[in-house]
Amino acid sequence: MLFLIAVISLACVSYAQTTVQLNDSQVLSTSIASGDLQHYYFEAAAHRLSGLHESESKSVYLTLTTCSQPTAPGNYEGEVPSLNMFISTSSEETTLPGPSQGTMVNDTKLGRIAWNTSDRVQNVWIGVVAPTLTENWNGNWTYQIAISTQGWMHPILGGNDGSGMIFNLEDTDDSHALFAASGEHQQNNRTLLVASNLAPELRYSLCAVDQARISGYAINTTRTPFGEQFLVSNLTSNSSYMAYLIESTGALRSMSAPIRLQTKADDNCRLIYGLDFCDQVAYSVPARASDSTDSIRQKYDDQARQLFEPFNIAISQFNCETTQYSLVRNCTDCYRDYKRWLCAVSIPRCTSAFQSVEDTVATRVVNANESRNPWIDETLEPGTWTELLPCIDLCYQVVQSCPPFMAFNCPKGDLASMQYGYWKRNTVDANGMSVQLGPSYPTCNRLQLEESRLVLSDASQASLMDYSILLIILSTVLLQA
């Protein structure tokens, strides 16, 4: 069911005794000054019986999003305090909700307050409270408030906590960013919104994000077997942005949780995706700045295809149909996992790691003409670059999936940590910002390998891994330390 949405602008209601009625599924925009208390009420029972929304639903959904906030004095270093919201559904209370009455809503995100109930309440009274600021602050808070018996009016994709939505940053180069979204809703109603200089206290407020939206960027959307990909172009090098996936249903817009992206400073990391053979590659690779993206993509893909051919011949000589070598893996698994490993090591990922988490992210500085594969230096001439090492799990999967006659093994100890990285999911501090390591901020190149198949361990534990030294299999694709 589509929501009926209207945006109503009101003058600031700054007196506690003034109570404004909210209408079902309408968004109200207003402002509030320091120390003020504003009141609203909603006749839930009346709206359930109205002809507009004939529904047996008992639920009521209330949200408040802060669109802007006062400007702090020049010597202020803390966060700008946020608005608070108080709720009352009791007809017996004689005082409207506020700091001394009612229940404070604790379901808050940065710039967004949400409350809902599944009880069949008759009325909802709401108090919005602005913190009392000291002198030398400028401006008021502006915000949107909306209540509905149909659903959230300021929805978050993937549920109110965003956990049900897969939206990741694949990688960036100096002027592009590539994102991937789960393919459950592959429609023409999704796009990206990129913002800059967004107040950190307002990251979950769509009206605030709209005001911080940058100009001049372009979006190219591609549908793949893995979901949708969004390429953002015309970004500034070595710059920080916040990106959101926006999904529209009629006039209602849902937003994803924010993803912070940082474009690279160097122009010899080039973002490629949409390869024919190594179709899971979607990241930056080392190459000279003067080459076209199409040329770089084609050269890497052709080389990987050529290197794969000896393995293809070898596996074709094994009787996969009648010879069982594993209870859980077969030749299809071997083909898939070897190809994934080969693409990862022959098409290395170029990165700019967070300086303050170098011990966490598996990187290796590659000096000019010292790439693992000499073909890269001879053909693409990237100069000095930084490699994000492949995840060692890519190697493990080949050992587990392929027939024993191939004698494929993985390194152990120091050699393993020199050639591979380990996948981690913890939260770290990166240049003063809290970063959740994972798909958007990888610690190694997993090349779309499912997280359930990744080893979660520290590189310092590599010596505990009881795997043999990597043997020479088809020498042209060897990892050289």
pLDDT the model gives residue 20? 96
- CA distance linking residue 92 with residue 106, whole number of Å: 23
Question: Domain 167-262 belongs to what architecture?
Answer: Sandwich (2.60)
Q: What are 223's two structure tokens?
A: 């549908």
- Asked if 124 contacts 44 with a C-beta cutoff of 8 angstroms, the reply is yes
Q: How many CB atoms lie within 10 A of CB 436?
A: 12
Q: Are strands 7-9 and 26-32 parallel, antiparallel or unpaired?
A: parallel
- Asked if 142 contacts 38 with a C-beta cutoff of 8 angstroms, the reply is no
pLDDT the model gives residue 16? 44
CA angle 50, 52, 54 (to 5 degrees): 65
Terminal alpha carbon distance of the chain: 59
Strand partners, 104: 86
pLDDT the model gives residue 151? 94
pLDDT the model gives residue 154? 97
pLDDT the model gives residue 338? 97
- CATH tag for 7-148 (out of 2.60.120.380, 3.30.420.40, 3.90.550.10, 3.40.50.300): 2.60.120.380
Q: Where in the chain is the domain with CATH 2.60.40.10?
A: 167-262
* Cα-to-chain-centroid distance, residue 60: 29
Strand partners, 171: 178
- Beta-carbon contacts of 460 under 8 Å, excluding residues fewer than 6 positions away, are none
pLDDT the model gives residue 357? 55
Q: Is the C-alpha dihedral spanning 440, 443, 445, 451 positive or negative?
A: negative
Query: For residue 83, which of 57, 65, 60, 101 has the smallest C-alpha distance?
Result: 65
- Beta-carbon contacts of 463 under 8 Å, excluding residues fewer than 6 positions away, are 412, 413, 414
Strand partners, 68: 142
The model's pTM: 0.86
pLDDT the model gives residue 163? 67
- Phi, psi angle pair for 473, to nearest 5°: -120, 115
Per-residue pLDDT of the chain (481 residues; tens, 9 = 90+): 344 443 433 333 333 458 999 999 999 999 999 999 999 999 987 765 554 445 556 799 999 999 999 999 988 989 999 999 999 998 777 789 999 988 999 999 999 999 999 988 889 999 999 999 988 999 999 999 999 999 999 999 987 766 667 899 999 999 999 999 986 555 668 999 999 999 999 999 999 999 999 999 999 999 887 789 999 999 999 999 999 999 999 889 999 999 999 999 999 999 999 999 999 999 999 999 999 999 999 999 999 999 999 999 999 889 888 888 998 999 999 999 999 999 999 999 999 855 445 567 889 999 999 999 999 999 999 999 999 999 999 999 999 999 998 999 999 888 888 899 999 888 877 666 677 888 999 999 999 999 888 875 544 343 333 333 222 233 223 233 2
Q: Where in the chain is the domain with CATH 2.60.120.380?
A: 7-148
Q: How many CB atoms lie within 10 A of CB 246?
A: 17
Q: How many CB atoms lie within 10 A of CB 81?
A: 16
